[in-house]
Amino acid sequence: MDYDIIIIGAGPGGYEMAAEAARQGLNTAIVERGFVGGTCLNHGCIPTKALCHCAQVLRSVRSAAAYGIECGTVTADYSAAARHKAAVVEQLRQGVAQLMSAPGITLVQGEASIAGAHTVSIDGGKHTLTASHIVIATGSEPRNLPIPGADLTMSSGEALAMTSLPQRMCVIGGGVIGMEFAGIFAAYGVEVTVVEYCKEILPPFDKDVAKRLRTVLQKQGVKFITQAAVTAIGRTASGLTVSYDLKGKPQQLECQKALMAVGRKPVLPEGLEQAGVAVGRRGIEVDSHMMTSVPGIYAIGDVNGQCMLAHAATAQGMVALAHITGKESSVKLGIVPSAVFTQPELAMVGLTEEQCKAQELDVTVKKGFFRSNGKALSMGETDGLVKMIVSNADRTIVGCHICGPHASDLIQEVVMAMNAGSTVGDLAAAIHGHPTLSEAVQAVARQF
Catalytic positions are 434
Helix, strand, or coil (residue 285): coil
CA dihedral (246, 251, 254, 259) in degrees, to 10, reads: 30
- CB count within 10 Å of CB 384 equals 25
What is the three-class DSSP state of 175?
coil
Query: Measured between alpha carbons, how far is 313 from 28 in angstroms, rounded to an integer?
Result: 18
- What sign results for the dihedral spanned by CA atoms 150, 304, 301, 203? positive
**Cα-based angle 42, 47, 52 (whole degrees, multiple of 5):** 165
How far is Cα 347 from Cα 411, in angstroms, rounded to an integer? 6
Residue 63, φ and ψ in degrees, nearest 5: -100, 10
Asked if 269 contacts 120 with a C-beta cutoff of 8 angstroms, the reply is no
> Which H or E run includes 367?
strand 363-369
C-alpha of 136 from chain center: 20
Distance CA 344, CA 330 (A): 33
